[in-house]
Amino acid sequence: MQAFLDAQAGRSPRGYTNFTQTVGEPNLPYNHNFWNFYAQDSWKPRPNLTLSYGPRYDLYLLPAGNSQSPLAVSRSFRVDRNNFAPRLALAWSLSQDQKAVVRASYGMFYDAPQTDIYRRAILNNGSPIFFNISAGPAASFAPNYSNVFSGIPTGFTPGTQYVTAVSPEYRTLYSHNANLSISRQLPWDLTLTATYLYTKGTGLPIYSNRNLIPSGQTLADGRPIFGAGRLDPRFNGIVLAESVGNSVYSGGTFTLSKRMAKGFEGFASYTWAQAIDDAPEQNNIDAGAFWLSDISNRGRDRGNSLSDRRHSFNASFVYESKLERGNAILRTLLSDNRVAIFFLAMHGDLFNIGSNRVLNGDATSTTAFQRPLFIGRNTFRGPRTEQFDLRYSRKISIRERYRA
């Protein structure tokens, strides 16, 4: 408090410990325009066969880069214009009574780019339009109380910039999705369905520091150790976004359902699935890493996807009572009561194990992104999840047309 009073009185105009101010233009205008077009048709070549098909086109127009960017790749961004996606589906009844049905579909789908990729590339391009200036009271450009910087002060030298960029070959992420299901109606209002799902993702975003120089040494597991030098000495690190990641999901589901009859309805489903990719997660608060552990060998990051959950079972049952005979009071009390039960059990979440120190010599990558020796990505699985819910509800007739 005394330091503030002295500064206010002019006795000690630099009585503060540290002064920090943001200078420059804080507004960052940029626009994305997304256009989507599709056409679809259905055809019934036979009474027991229905086909659905059609194309889709997606166009994602990107913001303009900074033409004055010190890094050439950030001066403009490539627009991917060949995003044509076909789709086809069929439903085929195997018998005249339509109690056995085969359904299959295939589709290609494009995903809108993460807009934050381009925002960071525009903002962190090596010549930021706004940034923080910090100064201690001994700095030649430190202001007296209560002055502030009106621009970049004389004598201030910005540190070596850490830049973010988008690869000139960056393309739109797309996936091939296919599924096949066979449903069979059984006695007692039961239906059994077996389903297989497959998804192949291509062009997943991957981020890595591309401004490193190998020292010639390696860790015990073969990962390179980097030196203090930089390929482009103008910058500290160059985090490059590339669309080179791949993923595969494959899963099978068995479902037994009972439609509502005599007051009872039920559903039970079991799924076995596996998801693998080589693209460490980005923009996910639960992800332990989004940095490649070895920029020279992307295969080191091929492992379980964060969403990988091998086993999952869920079931739900609903019973609603209805008494149509007997005493009127008993009919009222024992009717319109509904009991619902839900149960879920599934494999636990996956976690990436990080190091507690810099292992590869890249101080710009935090230790959490550098796994210990011989530890694969997303190899630690937490405890399984089990959930049980029970609900009771009752409908109360007020009038013929109203119920609570």
Q: For 368-386, what is each residue's pLDDT tens digit? A: 678 899 998 888 999 999 9
Residue 288's pLDDT band, with cuts at 50, 70 and 90, is very low
> What pLDDT, on a 0 to 100 scale, did the predictor assign at position 285?
45
What is the length of the chain? 404
Give CA–CA dist 215/1, Å, rounded.
Answer: 52
Task: Of 28-32, 333-337, 387-391, give the range with the top mean pLDDT.
Answer: 387-391
> What pLDDT, on a 0 to 100 scale, did the predictor assign at position 172?
93
Give CA–CA dist 178/180, Å, rounded.
Answer: 7
Domain boundaries, the chain: 173-404
Q: For 192-248, what is each residue's pLDDT tens digit? A: 999 999 999 999 988 888 999 999 999 999 999 998 889 999 888 898 999 999 999
> What pLDDT, on a 0 to 100 scale, did the predictor assign at position 208?
87
Query: Does the structure show a pLDDT above 70 at 289?
Result: no
Mean pLDDT for 387-402 is 85
Q: Residue 115: name the closest of 30, 204, 173 by CA.
A: 30
The single residue listed with the structure tokens 């976690």 is 351
> What pLDDT, on a 0 to 100 scale, did the predictor assign at position 134?
85
**Burial annotation 165-182 (CB, 10 A radius, 16+ → b, else e):** bbbeebbbbbbebebebb
Residue 283's pLDDT band, with cuts at 50, 70 and 90, is very low
Residue 279's pLDDT band, with cuts at 50, 70 and 90, is confident
Give CA–CA dist 200/202, Å, rounded.
Answer: 7
Contact predicate 114/8, CB 8 Å:
no
Residue 37's pLDDT band, with cuts at 50, 70 and 90, is very high
Weakest-pLDDT range from 102-106, 157-161, 170-174: 157-161
> What pLDDT, on a 0 to 100 scale, did the predictor assign at position 364?
67
Query: Does the structure show a pLDDT above 50 at 286?
Result: no
Q: Residue 302: name the closest of 245, 350, 366 by CA.
A: 245
Q: For 89-131, what is each residue's pLDDT tens digit? A: 999 998 877 789 999 999 999 999 888 889 889 888 888 777 7
Mean of per-residue pLDDT scores for the chain = 87
The better pLDDT of the pair 26, 179 is held by 179
The better pLDDT of the pair 342, 294 is held by 342
> What pLDDT, on a 0 to 100 scale, did the predictor assign at position 29?
81
Q: For 355-372, what is each residue's pLDDT tens digit? A: 888 888 877 676 767 889
Mean pLDDT for 376-399 is 89
Distance of CA 274 to the CA centre of its chain: 17
Query: Does the structure show a pLDDT above 50 at 402?
Result: yes
Give CA–CA dist 161/74, Å, rounded.
Answer: 14
Percent pLDDT > 90 in the chain is: 45
SS3 string, the chain, reads: CHHHHHHHHCCCCCCCCCEEEEEECCCCCCCCEEEEEECCEEEEEECCEEEEEEEEEEEEECCCCCCCCCCHHHCCCCCCCCCEEEEEEEEEECCCCCCEEEEEEEEEEECCCCHHHHHHHHHCCCCCCEEEEEECCCCCCCCCCCCCCCCCCCCCCCCCEEEEEECCCCCCCEEEEEEEEEEEEECCCEEEEEEEEEEEEEEEEEEEECCEEEEEEECCCCCEEEEEEECCCCEEEEEEEEEEEEEEEEEEEEEEEEEEECCEEEEEEEEEEEEEECCCCCCCCCCCCCECCCCCCHHHHCEECCCCCCEEEEEEEEEECCCCCCCHHHHHHHCCEEEEEEEEEECCCEECCCCCCCCCCCCCCCHHHCCCCCCCCCCEECCCEEEEEEEEEECCECCCCCEC
The single residue listed with the structure tokens 């007692």 is 188
Percent pLDDT > 70 in the chain is: 97
Quick one: tokens of 201? 């993702």
> What pLDDT, on a 0 to 100 scale, did the predictor assign at position 290?
62
Residue 327's pLDDT band, with cuts at 50, 70 and 90, is confident
First-to-last alpha carbon distance for the chain, in angstroms, is 63
> What pLDDT, on a 0 to 100 scale, did the predictor assign at position 333?
74
Distance set, CA 180 to CA 104, 196, 359 (Å): 4, 5, 46
